[in-house]
Amino acid sequence: MKNIAVMGAGSWGTALAVTLGRNGHRVRMWDINEAHLKDIKANRENRRFLPNVSLPENVDVILEKEQMLSEADLVLFSVPAQHFRQAFTQALEYLPKDVLIVNVAKGIEQKSLQRMSEIAFSIRKDLRYVVLSGPSHAEEVGMGMPTTVAVASPQRIWAEEAQDFFMNDYLRIYTNDDVAGVELGGSLKNIIALGAGISDGLGYGDNAKAAMMTRGMTEITRLGVRLGADPLTFSGLSGIGDLIVTCTSMHSRNRRCGIMIGEGMPPSEAVEKVGMVVEGMYTTEAAYRLAKQVDVEMPITEAIYQVINGALPAKEAVNQLMSRSRKHENEDVLLRI
């Protein structure tokens, strides 16, 4: 039994806390929302974000994070990407020197345009850092349904250590050494999921969604390669795998938000109705700016950026994408940029 500290009691943090508890570890969860924690503790269930999934006896909820962090063998950060810097900075003084950090936030920080690993290493260079990402709805993991994800780290041994912590008979873990690719795949697919939802909300069919997903993955790969990622990563779990699940399922908050926008609801109202953080709304702006900065063409991302900022009606954005100049399908996709 190892000591696990979980920062963030949302749906995904809770599902992984339950999984780690089922694997025999001592797990303690903390969240900035004290009332939310008290409700979980009283009911032994995250009724707000992951209902009908009971916490194992060895998973507890605490109101003070300091002791939890100082005794941890592994700290799981499951906070919104835009709050990762603050959460990591506040936790830093309590972290043991050799603790394994596992981050599951999927996003790009708007202010700095940095990935989560870049933020973490800019604050503390001697980290044992792992990112966990892939096609994984918290609702299904919480219920013990078969799921497969990837863990990536600068050191393979750290990824393998995380693999040992999380892997069981329903959660299969693959290791990867492409931190940039795994983080970018998990982040950028949320943009395309918004687009897939908008397409559904407009009443378009499977053809349109397939085009959105396929050409969206082209954009993700194009930007990822420019930023140093391995193109093969985007063919894997944290690339096409995560894209498929996020663009096609009603578990996906990004897709649900997009559907409401496509139906005509103002973006801010759609986010509020989802009731949880919609990472794609933040990542779209960050990716739009990042693409401009490194001179990478991302027409779908740019169109979605204009739609969610009210600069362009959704239907007009589709018309503009469909009327772009003719191209060869494989032009500027991977390494020829």
* Helices first, then strands: H and E counts in the chain: 15, 10
CB 299 within 8 A of CB 324: yes
What are the strands, taking DSSP E only, across the chain? 3-7, 26-30, 45-46, 50-54, 59-61, 74-77, 100-103, 128-133, 147-152, 171-176
Catalytic residue among 189, 209, 292, 327: 189
CB 186 within 8 A of CB 117: no
315 is an active site residue: no
Cα separation of 246 and 192, whole Å? 9
Cα separation of 308 and 261, whole Å? 8
Cα separation of 198 and 15, whole Å? 28
CB 21 within 8 A of CB 27: yes
Q: Which residue has the tokens 């999927």?
A: 106
Q: Which residue has the tokens 């863990």?
A: 151
Residues taking part in catalysis: 189
